[in-house]
Amino acid sequence: MFGGVFGGSNTNKGQAQPMPGSMPGMNAAQMDPNAQLAAAEQEMEMVTEMFANLGELCKQKCIIQRYHDEELSKAESVCIDRCVSKYFQVNRVVNDKLAKLSLANQQG
């Protein structure tokens, strides 16, 4: 259902935010260029939205808001890594379930 919703993985070096750089995984070759563009736009929107959402969540969960130090502590760094990983896992689970559900709805 959300096939290829996540953009490519090229990050712009020196920039905090990854920008999606590829077309959606959907059979882009078969779509007309304007539809491709719309899909790419939507995909970008989705990825940025996700990134912002993830940032807010992991900041809340991982960063101690006292600022005794300008460096990320070891614990905070590890927490960020795990937070991102888990967020993607949750994303997979939700995506799978929704896909199955919508498939069942179509067939039923």
Least Å distance, CB 96 to other proteins, is 11
CA distance 82 to 87: 8
Contact positions vs other proteins (CB under 8 A): 3-4, 6-11, 15-19, 21-23, 25, 33-34, 36-37, 40-41, 44-45, 47-48, 51-52, 54-55, 58-59, 62-63, 65-72, 76-77, 80-81, 84-85, 87-88, 92
Q: Where are the alpha helices (DSSP H) in 1-108?
A: 33-62, 74-107
- Considering beta carbons, is residue 14 or 108 the nearer one to other proteins? 14
Q: Would you say how long the chain is, in residues?
A: 108
Q: How far is Cα 98 from Cα 107, in angstroms, rounded to an integer?
A: 14
Tokens for 19? 């920008």
In the bound state with other proteins, the residue whose beta carbon lies nearer, of 30 and 65, is 65
Tell me how far, at minimum, the Cβ of 5 lies from other proteins, in Å.
9
Residues 90, 79: Cα–Cα separation, whole Å: 16
